[in-house]
């Protein structure tokens, strides 16, 4: 059963979800046009600098942040670092936001981890054919330099991107991560699963038609079914242990089930967390259920480090 904070969040999202999320085609198209004309800020909030070291470079020609704890003693466990590559969501058309930065701060301080955050070009400038290979190269570099465990993590579109990168890195026989963390991952941009229509009336944030529009921009010249775009269609064997978080009021639930079943059948260890009645990307929201989910993520990353 949902707690009071999650019920309040659901009611709020039901009231304003058309503008806040991706339920209305006209609104989503407006988001794309607005981002094209006047790009949103991607800078981390100023308060992050009080607790974390932040560096910025422009590898690949676009910004890439590294965030780590200011408390050096926290990062000195056996002279090793936990490396996290965090890929933000936003349907490939919206910039990183405050809820992403809050999770990044928590990972940096409490795991503790060095979190790399690429500010990848958004669609239609950024497409899967261009961005996935570039971030795969970055991911390989992070895994190669790591003195401790490495994780690829993402929410929504970023979750799909994290899986596509892990598959591509495996196929290239690069340096694999020790684990994946996928938060409400968008794994099939076509949203062709028949179960989507059953879930959609209960989802206050997402609807299939506007998401297909955004997904087509990300696909560019590629077939939307291409695993680079829709990684649920890729090969699962050989992927690292994967932790998944998904709410049942989320139209991405159907393909997340499909991923779980395909990956498990291929021998991948999948730790699946399903939150009954919760909304899209629920670990990112200010609720009791979200706090528990974030603590589970931190404990999973910290335990791998300790091992």
| C-alpha–C-alpha distance, residues 202 and 283, integer Å | 18
Q: What is the pLDDT of residues 112-127, one digit of tens each?
A: 999 999 999 999 999 9
Predicted confidence at residue 67, as pLDDT, reads 97
Average pLDDT over every residue of 168-195: 96
| C-alpha–C-alpha distance, residues 31 and 35, integer Å | 6
| CA distances in angstroms from 173 to 4, 137, 159, 177, listed in the order given | 47, 12, 21, 12
Contact in structure between 83 and 114 (CB atoms under 8 Å): yes
Query: The pTM is what?
Result: 0.93
Per-chain mean pLDDT for the chain = 91
Collapsing DSSP to helix, strand or coil, 270 comes out as strand
Contact in structure between 150 and 142 (CB atoms under 8 Å): yes
| C-alpha–C-alpha distance, residues 25 and 11, integer Å | 21
| C-alpha–C-alpha distance, residues 30 and 21, integer Å | 12
77 is catalytic: no
Confidence of residue 217 (pLDDT cuts 50, 70, 90): very high
Looking at 68, 156, 188, 278, which residue is catalytic?
156
Average pLDDT over every residue of 215-233: 98
The domains of the chain are located at 4-306
Topology of domain 4-306, CATH? Rossmann fold (3.40.50)
280 is catalytic: yes
156 is catalytic: yes
| C-alpha–C-alpha distance, residues 19 and 17, integer Å | 5
């Amino acid at each position: 059963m949902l707690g009071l904070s999650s019920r309040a969040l659901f009611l709020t999202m039901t009231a304003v979800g058309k503008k806040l999320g991706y339920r209305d085609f006209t609104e989503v198209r407006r988001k794309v046009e607005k981002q094209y004309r006047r790009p949103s800020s991607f800078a981390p909030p100023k308060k992050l600098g009080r607790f974390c070291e932040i560096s910025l470079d422009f590898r690949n020609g676009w910004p890439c942040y590294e965030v780590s704890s200011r408390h050096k003693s926290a990062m000195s466990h056996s002279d090793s670092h936990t490396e996290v590559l965090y890929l933000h969501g936003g349907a490939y058309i919206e910039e990183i936001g405050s809820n992403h930065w809050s999770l990044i701060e928590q990972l940096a301080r409490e795991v503790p981890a060095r979190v790399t955050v690429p500010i990848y070009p958004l669609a239609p400038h950024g497409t899967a054919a261009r961005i996935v290979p570039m971030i795969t190269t970055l991911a390989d570099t992070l895994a190669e330099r790591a003195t401790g465990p490495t994780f690829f993590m993402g929410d929504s579109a970023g979750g799909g991107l994290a899986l596509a990168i892990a598959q591509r890195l495996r196929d290239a026989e690069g340096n694999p991560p020790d684990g994946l963390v996928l938060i409400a991952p968008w794994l099939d941009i076509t949203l062709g699963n028949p179960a989507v229509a059953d879930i959609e009336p209960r989802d206050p944030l997402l609807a299939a038609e506007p998401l297909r529009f955004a997904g087509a921009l990300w696909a560019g010249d590629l077939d939307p079914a291409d695993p680079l775009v829709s990684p649920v269609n890729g090969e699962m064997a050989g992927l690292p242990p994967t932790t998944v978080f998904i709410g049942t009021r989320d139209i991405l639930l159907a393909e997340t089930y499909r991923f779980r079943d395909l990956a498990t059948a291929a021998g991948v260890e999948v730790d699946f967390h399903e939150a009954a009645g919760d909304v899209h990307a629920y670990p990112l929201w200010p609720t009791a259920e979200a706090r528990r989910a974030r603590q589970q993520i931190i404990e999973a990353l910290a335990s791998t480090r300790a091992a």
